[in-house]
Chains A and B, each alone.
Chain A
Amino acid sequence: MNDLMSVVDWSRAQFALTAMYHWLFVPLTLGLSVIVGIMETIYFKTRSEKWLVITKFWMTLFGINFAMGVATGIILEFEFGTNWSNYSWFVGDIFGAPLAIEGLLAFFMEATFVAIMFFGWKKVSPGFHLASTWLTALGASISALWILVANAWMQYPVGMEFDPAQMRNVMDDFWAVAFSPVAIHKFLHAVFDGWVLAAVFVIGVSAWFLLKNTRRDLALKSIKVSGWVGIVGMILTLWSGDGSAVDVARVQPMKLAAMEGLYDGGRDQEIVGIGILDPSKERTDDKDPYLFKIAIPYGLSFLATHDIHGFVPGINDLIDGREITADGDTVKTVSYAERIAMGKQAHEALRAFDRAMTAGDEEAMESARADLKASYPYFGYGYLDSVDEAVPPVGMTFYSFHIMVIFGGYLFLFLILAVYAVYRRPLWWNHKSLLWTSILSVAVVWICSQAGWVTAEVGRQPWIIEGLMPTRAAVSAVSTGSVQLTFWMFAVVFTCLLAAEAVIMIRFIGKESNTTDIDDKQAVDNTEY
């Protein structure tokens, strides 16, 4: 068991390392492509050389980031086949098809139109070039869609039937998978998060120019465009995040309870704005979960149910199978002990199917198949020996969620301030306090973005597929040593590559910030790719 947990922990650590590394680049690609598209549209409409200079500058940074992100996602697919073979087989084409579409779209659409973006300035018409820029942005978003459809299925498995002969979930409703509300909200939330991240990145780099007192026109114009993209992106992030919260309340209520450190729920449930958990709190004791909190009355009920009086179950309510209706009555739902029992029945049914298949007994196979189908929704619970194993790490889920929300709130205020200042108080952009705040906000937005993923993926534990497969059942029978080795190999290689690529980006920004005001035609002619 200890060896298994070591393989599980190292495999999870490796996947987390590579996924978070990948997510350093993706949101900037998603958002900066839109910002560059807007800038080029302004150039197309005005034919102002100034806007061509601005567009080409940010397009170069887009290209550097794009190059930095190339192939960082493919590693994750390798890990499925090596470290997570049970999982990759079990999910069948449900995972494979979206990932294949993502890969094909990413390669063909982006490779084609990215090439036109960089190589086509004097070779295609301005209109065709502009279309290529927008199609690059669209291609990046469509690629993200398919990855998030796959991830959403892990959180809310739908549109499939399990075939015990193949040991695979066979997709029987593509549209249920592709248009699952969880998938749609996740996709929108991730894309709009990219808009916010890119906006803050642009403002941060622009602030660096203003700090160096150079390229002021480029900087202020860039802040105007990106500021609005950021504000719109933040509003849409909040809207899609609300949708995701309702989804989580409905299909992953244990995750929501962990996000809030909520052990004993109820109606009229408050939401914790800022809080510190008591690390000594146990599920079954009467201690207050929080050492400190500032809560907003009715907030969690409203977030989860859009009803300030709505019932939000805590960890103990879910485990004990308890729900409070709108009339205030306590009703029984399926407790976790019952789920574990049904899960073990599902495992027995699968064993019976295996024996019947080996014996060639068709009738027994059909009987076992029917028993399995009846208890399959709780198949994953059959691995649990105690109800406490079904509780995700409350501390990490709680803090990552609140970091995301608090940092997101700060960023919203920052973006409003940035836009207000650039239009109404441009002299504020001479103050070092605002400039350094803008630069440091670049780190804040990246932490915020990563915290969201930590919430989503740590909060779904112990499941790799909600209710159907716990993470520890998903790993391959590989040695801990081999996973450790590749973990450290990734860490070293990726860090070196990241450093090398970051140097290129920083040097380019530094070179541009050392450029004195030059006429725009020269700036255009000097643009390097």
Chain B
Amino acid sequence: MKENHPDIPTMTSLPMRVFRFYRDGFRSMTIGRRLWLLILIKLFIIFFIFKIFFFPDILRRDYDNDRDRAAAVRSSLLDRR
């Protein structure tokens, strides 16, 4: 089996160490696991249900460019009483 040349960096590079740090940390959690489950549920509801189905960006959805959006806002503000 080929041995690594001493000048060639091993797989314990910084990105790998960071990855292992987070991986080992998450694996060792207890209370944190339940909290993370709630966080993931919350994020799913917020981004994949609320945002997609109930919170569109109205101006981006209804108008194709900034000139039309500005015109819509101008019209709305001048007609709004």
B-binding residues in A (CB < 8 A)? 1, 4, 60, 63-64, 67-68, 70-71, 74-75, 78-79, 81-82, 85-86, 88-90, 115, 118-120, 123, 164-168, 347, 350-351, 354, 383, 385, 469, 472-473, 476-478, 482, 485-486, 489, 493, 497, 500-501, 504, 508, 528-529
Contact = CB atoms under 8 A, between A and B. Distances in A.
Contacts of B51: 78
Contacts of A167: 70-71, 73-74, 77
Interface in B45-81: 45-46, 50-51, 54-60, 66, 69-71, 73-74, 76-78, 80-81
B50 A489 contact: yes
Given A64-B31, A71-B42, A118-B25, A85 B58 contact: yes
A75 B50 contact: yes
Interface of A is mostly: helix
A71 B34 CA distance: 16
B76 A500 contact: no
Contact of A529 (B30, B55, B70, B81): B30
A354 B35 contact: no
A448 B31 CA distance: 30
Given A89-B70, A119-B28, A493 B45 contact: yes
Contacts of B55: 78-79, 81-82, 486
20 contacts: A1-B81, A60-B31, A81-B60, A85-B73, A88-B59, A90-B77, A118-B32, A119-B21, A120-B25, A167-B77, A354-B74, A385-B81, A489-B54, A497-B38, A497-B42, A501-B38, A504-B38, A528-B30, A529-B29, A529-B31
Nearest to A475: B80
Q: How large is the interface on B (under 10, 10 to 19, 20 to 34, 35 or more residues)?
A: 35 or more
A89 B59 contact: yes
Given A167-B74, A383-B81, A504-B35, A82 B57 contact: yes
A168 B56 CA distance: 20
A486 B43 CA distance: 16
Contacts of B66: 166
Contacts of B24: 119
A350 B42 CA distance: 43
Given A1-B81, A118-B29, 16 more contacts: A60-B31, A67-B35, A70-B42, A71-B39, A71-B43, A74-B46, A81-B57, A82-B58, A86-B77, A119-B26, A166-B70, A350-B74, A383-B80, A469-B77, A476-B58, A529-B32
B21 A486 contact: no
Nearest to A473: B80
Contacts of B22: 115, 119
Nearest to B25: A119
Contacts of A70: 39, 42-43
B73 A63 contact: no
Interface of B is mostly: helix
A71 B46 contact: yes
Contacts of A86: 73, 76-77, 80
Give the residue among B24, B39, B51, B55 with the most A Cβ atoms within 10 A.
B55
Q: What are the 9 tightest A-B residue pairs by CB atom distance, in nearest-first order?
A: A119-B25, A81-B57, A78-B55, A67-B35, A167-B70, A528-B30, A85-B58, A82-B55, A167-B73
B39 A529 contact: no
A90 B32 contact: no
Contacts of A4: 80-81
A529 B33 CA distance: 8
B69 A89 contact: yes
A252 to B, nearest CB: 22
Contacts of B41: 497
A118 B74 CA distance: 50
B70 A63 contact: no
Nearest to A483: B54
A485 B54 contact: yes
Nearest to A82: B55
Contacts of B57: 81-82, 85
Contacts of B29: 118, 529
Contact of B78 (A119, A351, A472, A489): A351
